[in-house]
Amino acid sequence: MFGFGGRSGKRVLELDRDQALVLFELLSRWIDDAPQPTPSADCFQSPAELVVLKQVDERLKVLLNAPFRPDYPETLAAARDRLSDEFIVGKTLQD
């Protein structure tokens, strides 16, 4: 869900817990885990896009406590499973 703030110019994006965990894990993997595969540079049109991704990752680190719990791998796996049920085989991000 997207929301538009008043005069502050801020926008609000609401994610449920599963979405936040999966997005956090993806961004953390891209940003923090150097040996992991990341999108190629030609995927981005501007360094500003990378700045935004880094800022979202940092904000999720502040908001989420699950990644710092001992049962995080199981919690993440369950979130991925629930969200994967919405995936349509054969679809891409552009579909």
Stretch 57-65: mean pLDDT: 92
| Residue 69, both tokens | 């719990």
Per the prediction, the chain carries an average pLDDT of: 84
Mean of pLDDT values over 33-44: 79
Selection from 14, 21, 15 nearest residue 77 by Cα: 21
94 token code pair: 């552009």
Identify whether the C-beta of residue 56 lies closer than 8 Å to the C-beta of residue 11.
Answer: no
Spatial distance between the Cα atoms of 55 and 94, rounded to a whole number of angstroms:
24
Please say if the pLDDT value at position 95 is more than 90: no
Helix (H/G/I), strand (E/B), else coil: 12: strand
Q: What are the structure tokens assigned to 31, written together?
A: 């940003």
- pLDDT cut 70: percent of the chain above it: 84
For residue 32, the model assigns a pLDDT of 80
